Structures are given as C-alpha cells and as structure tokens.
C-alpha cells in the first residue's frame, strides 16, 4: 500500500527488538515512513510472542507494534547478513537499533563505517544507559531505566515499596525521544546534507519527564516521596466517591477553577479572600482536609449527576477509563481515537489511532504487524535486485 503522511518517502531500517526500538519504528511508520523491520530468521522479534494470545503464537501485541512495517529476515551474526544490511542502509534515511552498545561495532556496522556508506544516514541508537559512560555496556531494560531515572521511587503508595505503571513506560519514552531526535536530525540533514547519531538512553528519557525533582533537591534538599493518588501540595486534584459507588477524578487546583468548584458546592466562601483554601499554597498545606471536605459533597451525588454539574460549571473532571469505556465513549468515536484495522489472522482489530493528528498530511494505519519475512522477496528482490536463485541460496544458508 502506498505510504501517505508527512514522512512518506523516508525509508527506515529497524533492527531493534522488544519495544524501545520498535516503538520508534511504529511511530515513524504511522507518519508514513517506509519501515523495513529486520528480524532474526526463524524466531523474529520476541514481541511476536509477548502479551496476550488469541491462540498459540498469535500475540495481540505484535499487530500494534509491528503495524505499517515490512518484515524481512536477516541473520546479522553472519558476515553475509551484515553485508546485506549494508546494502539496505545505502538506500535508507534512518537506521534504528536498540542492541547493547558495542554490538554494531562487533558486527562491523559502527557509525564510522555506515557514514562512509551513506553520509546522509541518521543512526538512531536506543539503549538502557546510552552509548557512552561507565554503565553503557550494561544490559538495560525499561524497568531499570524507570528506576534509575527516578520514576519508580515516587510511584505508588507511601507505606509500600515503589510500584510501577501498568505499561512499559520507560521503553516508550525512550522511543518517543528517539523519534523526536530522528526528526530533528532529518531536518538538519535536509539543510546540510549530513546525517548524525541520535543517542536515546532509557534512563535519560525517564529523567527528562521528572519535572523539578532534581532542582528541588539541589536547591532545598527536598525529596519528593510516594504520595499515591495525589501530587503533594497540588489540591484539589484527586479521585472522589459518588453515591453510586463510582470514583470521579476532579482537578480544580488552579485558583479560578477552585472558585468555580466552591460555587458548585454552594460554598463560595471556601475560595474567598481570607479562607485557608484561597490560594494554591493554602490548599496544598491543607490538602487532606480539603479532599475530605470535597468527598463529603461528591458522595451526595451519583456519578452522572456529579459529572454533569462539574462539566457545566467548567471544572475539569472525568471517569477513570478502562478499555471497554474507551470503545464506547462518543468522544473517542467522534475523533477516531480508536480504529478497527483489518488483520489476516484476527479479521479485525481495534487499536489506538495515529497521534498526533495533522490537518494536511495525517498519518494512517495501513496494515497490522506482518508475518515473519513476509516481504523478503519484495525487499531483497525488488529493492536490492537479488534474483530468485540468490535469495534461495541465502535462505538455504540461514542468512535470510
């Protein structure tokens, strides 16, 4: 299918596995890039087996992270496989990899060589600790990056061990920053004609999201701790009970918004001059007391009535959604936030749409994750010009 979107015409070779590298490939493929995914013969990316399965060997994760990609098999541990990758890179704009640092160099595929082959190449390297520094050679997964970057320490309830989010957020953040870096490097290349290396470390991608935690410690010796459902000194912003047993999240921590909430509660004096809740600092100082007071009011209303009041009154509020809520929500439907995509194994699959939405050159989901090596003939034959006999020879020797 012809690529559309702002990255149409950009060719990406993706040699990563699991999530940190492949999610970067997914993001660029969503925006129209021709992503050729290189996978080990016979086994492929472990993401083909990870996650829930509809039947044995039919992962429900792979169709999402593998979408919009062409799959070829290639044994990069063999010299012949390395040589084939070089030929792919000659015709590429971006090469994404998330092997342990030093692996490409052992395979004679370091940036110095790749730059000689293709001076315009943008090499995107995703790893746990980055390509330099004393920890660079260590094995690094997303969970370790989340811990080292500071996210794990402040996640969870204060009386328990640090928790984690229910998704691979460290890998995803590293991939997003890698994609941003790739797009910036492509812009620079279009101006100067020169490629460069994008070095995205998982722990640094997490660290980048840690707001002012480092500065607060450096200046005041203040260490943020685990605070469960709330941010310390940001109030009111919490989940509150309703008469029908639901939980509604209300975020009214800005002065003007809190004033609107107080009016809805028929207690405008809560936000009046002189009240302990009048400004941000006062509400933060009395956070628990204020939350308890609001909870008494919310518990008098069923969830539908409460949300109607809050939305009409201009107070940010909402339910805590699960997948079933998303699939039936009229706003999700109106914006095509979730789309159904044809899949050869499952018939049709619901999955999140391309983000962000572009008005003139929107991205698209053109197909779900392909079969292993599905595009060997297309890529090695049509793109590299290898005839059927040569492809058969490479397959027989285990190179592809």
DSSP 3-state of 131: coil
Q: 210, 201, 17, 204: which is closest to 101 by C-alpha?
A: 201
Set 30, 34, 171, 291: catalytic member: 171
Q: Given 3-state DSSP classes, what are the helix, strand and coil percentages for the chain, each rounded to the nearest 5?
A: 40, 15, 45
Task: Give the H/E segment covering residue 115.
Answer: helix 111-117
Task: State in Å, rounded, how far the first CA of the chain is from the last one.
Answer: 24
Can you spell out the DSSP letters for 14-67? E---TTHHHHHHHHHHHTT-EEEEEE-TTT--GGGTSS-BSSTT-BSSHHHHTT
Give the span between the Cα atoms of 23 and 45, in whole angstroms: 12
Catalytic status, residue 171: yes
Can you spell out the DSSP letters for 59-92? BSSHHHHTTTEEEEE--TTSHHHHHHHHHHHHT-
Place of tokens 């469960």: 228
Catalytic residue annotation = 171
């Amino acid at each position: 299918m012809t690529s559309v979107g702002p990255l149409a015409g950009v060719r990406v070779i993706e040699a990563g596995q699991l999530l940190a590298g492949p999610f970067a490939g997914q993001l660029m493929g969503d925006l129209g890039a021709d992503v050729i995914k290189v996978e080990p013969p016979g086994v492929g990316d472990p993401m083909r087996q990870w996650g829930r399965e509809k039947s044995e060997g039919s992962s429900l994760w792979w169709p999402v992270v593998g979408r919009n990609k062409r799959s070829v098999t290639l044994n990069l541990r063999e010299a012949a496989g390395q040589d084939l990758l070089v030929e792919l890179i000659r015709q590429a704009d971006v090469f994404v990899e998330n092997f342990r640092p030093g692996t490409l160099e052992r395979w004679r595929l370091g940036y110095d060589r790749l730059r000689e082959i293709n001076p315009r190449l943008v090499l995107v390297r995703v790893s746990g600790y980055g390509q330099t520094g004393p920890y660079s050679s260590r094995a690094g997964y997303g969970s370790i990056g989340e811990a080292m970057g500071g996210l794990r320490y402040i996640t969870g309830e204060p009386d328990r061990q640090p928790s984690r989010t229910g998704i691979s957020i460290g890998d995803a953040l590293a991939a997003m920053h890698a994609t941003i870096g790739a797009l910036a490097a492509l812009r620079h290349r279009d101006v100067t004609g020169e490629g460069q290396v994008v070095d995205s470390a998982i722990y640094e991608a997490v660290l980048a999201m840690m707001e002012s935690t480092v500065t607060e410690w450096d200046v005041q010796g203040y260490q943020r701790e685990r605070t469960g459902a709330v941010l310390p000194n940001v109030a009111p912003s919490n989940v509150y009970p309703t008469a029908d047993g639901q939980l509604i999240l209300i975020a009214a921590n800005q002065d003007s918004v809190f004033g609107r909430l107080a009016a809805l509660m028929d207690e405008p004096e809560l936000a009046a001059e002189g009240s302990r809740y009048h400004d941000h600092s006062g509400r933060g100082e009395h956070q628990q007391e204020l939350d308890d007071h609001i909870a008494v009011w919310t518990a008098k209303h069923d969830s539908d009535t409460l949300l109607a009041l809050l939305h009409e009154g201009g107070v940010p509020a909402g339910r805590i959604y699960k997948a079933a809520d998303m699939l039936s929500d009229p706003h999700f439907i109106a914006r095509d936030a979730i789309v159904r995509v044809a899949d050869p194994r499952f018939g049709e699959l619901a999955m999140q749409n391309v983000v962000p939405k572009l008005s003139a050159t929107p991205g698209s989901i053109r197909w779900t994750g392909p079969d292993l090596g599905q595009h060997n003939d297309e890529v090695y034959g049509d793109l590299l010009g290898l005839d059927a006999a040569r492809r058969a020879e490479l397959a027989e020797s285990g190179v592809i």
